[in-house]
């Protein structure tokens, strides 16, 4: 299983104040950073104003990396190939805007590699998703010739490299035979400076298919942006949600409208009548990744006004299909909670009618969760302990 985010009891809404609007791509992205075995925070960095992470240069790393321009690029003789480096002493020899991001300020310092394929067509993965990478990266590849503005492949934020550095790049591409490729390890902006660790290798692609199970609850979501019946606070008919229950798996679809730069959000509302540990897991076949938002309805004020973006409590993201991710919220009190799965980005390949299937599973485990002053007499003593021991084997509903 992929990322599982653990929240401490009673701390399910401590994480972030990110905002989102239905069907619109946020100007920011959030990823999880685990601070302890029980408490997880969400990190958010605004795309429109981020200055980058400045990391100290390592002399050991800085002396052995890619070329400063494509014309003196480091030659990759064979695959697999790995390398480490630091971009602080490099220049800005090029830039591209990848499909999975917004245009940055430019000026990122880059390093270059070149590779010539053999007689067969192969699939190659190029990844910076290693803890040795500690700045906001960008990867792009040219095939056959250096045509700025027309990369063969380009990626900005597919993966996370470790604690504190979640905006890292990975490309998986089919390489035709007898072709020279130029690969740039770039930064999103001039302020993004640090170390990287990269790996290029021949890869095997396993088809990603997610099918609804016979026991799933089917969400009959029409492939029409902003008019379906589960668009929550931002639907055509205000405050529409798809109810989801404990021990239930919902199967639905999400999609994009790349022409308008919009994506589908499906809003699910879970209502608890007693305290529970709630696990929400999502998996999808969406090739460009997906996200799952979580919100405590009372904490964010519900749908305060039509069209207003609502603060979210938490979000997890993955950059590739068929990767299970989720949120575990311990000690959720009675009340209403929103779970909002959505596609990642506005890739035209998943415009209607090419919607992508996802499955969202909710499981609940109940307490008892008791305060120290169980009997309400304003004193914590053996009377409270006796009540706890008397309910030691009690289950939900007893």
Contact 171, 93 (CB under 8 A): no
Alpha helices, DSSP H, located in the chain: 59-62, 297-300, 382-390
CA dihedral of 218, 224, 226, 232, whole degrees rounded to 10: 0
Please tell me the distance from the alpha carbon of residue 60 to that of residue 67, in angstroms, as a whole number: 16
Q: 59-203 sits in which CATH class?
A: mainly beta
Q: What is the pLDDT of residue 331?
A: 84
- Residue 353: asked if its preceding bond is cis (omega within 30°), the reply is yes
Q: What is the mean pLDDT of the chain?
A: 73
Q: Which CATH number is associated with domain 4-48+208-366?
A: 2.60.120.380
Q: What is the pLDDT of residue 214?
A: 94
Rounded average pLDDT over 304-313: 52
Q: What is the pLDDT of residue 2?
A: 28
Contact 336, 342 (CB under 8 A): no
Q: What is the pLDDT of residue 345?
A: 66
Same fold, 4-48+208-366 and 59-203: yes
What distances in angstroms separate CA 81 from CA 69, 124, 125, 159, 171, one per listed residue? Answer: 19, 11, 11, 19, 14
Who has greater pLDDT, 322 or 247?
247
Residue 335 pLDDT grade (very low, low, confident, very high; cuts 50, 70, 90): very high
Please tell me the distance from the alpha carbon of residue 67 to that of residue 255, in angstroms, as a whole number: 40
Rounded to a whole number, what is the distance in angstroms from the first to the last CA of the chain?
Answer: 34
Q: What is the pLDDT of residue 142?
A: 94
Is residue 43 pLDDT above 90, yes or no? no
Is residue 361 pLDDT above 80, yes or no? yes
Who has greater pLDDT, 158 or 229?
158
Residue 115 pLDDT grade (very low, low, confident, very high; cuts 50, 70, 90): very high
Instruction: Look at residues 361, 358, 158 and name the one whose alpha carbon lies nearest to residue 266.
Output: 358
Per DSSP bridges, beta strands 325-332 and 4-7 are parallel
- For the sheet with 217-218, list strands across it: 4-7, 325-332, 276-284, 356-366, 248-254, 217-218
pLDDT tens figures, 57-114: 333 333 446 889 999 999 999 999 999 889 998 999 999 988 766 667 788 999 999 9
Q: What is the pLDDT of residue 92?
A: 92
* Domain chopping of the chain, boundaries: 4-48+208-366, 59-203
Instruction: Look at residues 95, 66, 94 and name the one whose alpha carbon lies nearest to residue 156.
Output: 95
Is residue 261 pLDDT above 50, yes or no? yes
Rounded average pLDDT over 193-209: 80
Rounded average pLDDT over 43-62: 30
Contact 318, 282 (CB under 8 A): no
Is residue 208 pLDDT above 90, yes or no? no
User: Which two structure tokens, joined as six digits, stand for 19?
Assistant: 């905002």
Contact 256, 351 (CB under 8 A): yes
Lowest-pLDDT choice from 100-104, 174-178, 289-293? 100-104
């Amino acid at each position: 299983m992929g990322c599982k985010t653990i929240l401490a009891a009673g701390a399910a809404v401590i994480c972030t104040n990110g905002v989102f609007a239905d069907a619109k791509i946020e100007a920011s992205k959030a990823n999880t950073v685990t601070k302890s075995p029980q408490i997880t925070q969400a990190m958010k960095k605004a795309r429109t104003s981020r200055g980058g992470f400045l990391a100290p240069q390592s002399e050991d790393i800085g002396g052995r990396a890619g070329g400063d321009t494509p014309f003196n690029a480091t030659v990759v003789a064979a695959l697999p190939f790995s390398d480490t480096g630091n971009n602080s002493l490099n220049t800005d020899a090029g830039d591209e805007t990848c499909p999975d991001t917004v245009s940055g300020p430019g000026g990122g310092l880059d390093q270059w590699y070149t590779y010539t394929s053999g007689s067969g067509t192969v699939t190659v993965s190029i990844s910076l998703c290693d803890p040795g990478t500690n700045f906001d990266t960008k990867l792009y590849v040219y095939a056959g010739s250096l045509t700025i503005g027309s990369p063969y492949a380009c990626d900005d934020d597919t993966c996370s490299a470790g604690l504190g550095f979640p905006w890292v790049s990975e490309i998986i591409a089919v390489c035709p035979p007898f072709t020279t490729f130029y690969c740039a390890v770039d930064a999103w902006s001039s302020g993004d400076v640090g170390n990287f660790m990269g790996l290029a290798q021949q890869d095997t692609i396993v088809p990603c298919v997610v099918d609804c199970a016979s026991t799933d609850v089917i969400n009959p979501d029409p492939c029409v942006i902003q008019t379906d019946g589960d668009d929550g606070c931002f639907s055509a008919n205000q405050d529409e949600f798809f109810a989801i229950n404990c021990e239930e798996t919902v199967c639905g679809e999400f999609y994009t409208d790349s022409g308008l730069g919009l994506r589908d959000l499906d809003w699910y509302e879970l209502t608890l009548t007693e305290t529970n540990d709630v696990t929400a897991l999502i998996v999808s076949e969406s090739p460009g990744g997906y996200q799952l938002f979580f919100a405590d309805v009372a904490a964010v004020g519900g749908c305060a006004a039509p069209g207003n973006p609502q603060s979210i409590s938490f979000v997890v993201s993955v950059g590739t299909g068929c990767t299970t991710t989720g949120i575990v919220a311990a000690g959720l009190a009675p009340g209403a909670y929103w779970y909002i799965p959505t596609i990642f980005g506005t890739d035209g390949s998943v415009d209607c009618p090419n919607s992508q299937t996802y499955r969202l599973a909710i499981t609940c485990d109940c307490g008892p969760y008791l305060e120290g002053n169980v009997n309400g007499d304003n004193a914590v003593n053996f009377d409270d302990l006796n009540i706890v021991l008397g309910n030691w084997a009690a289950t939900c509903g007893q």
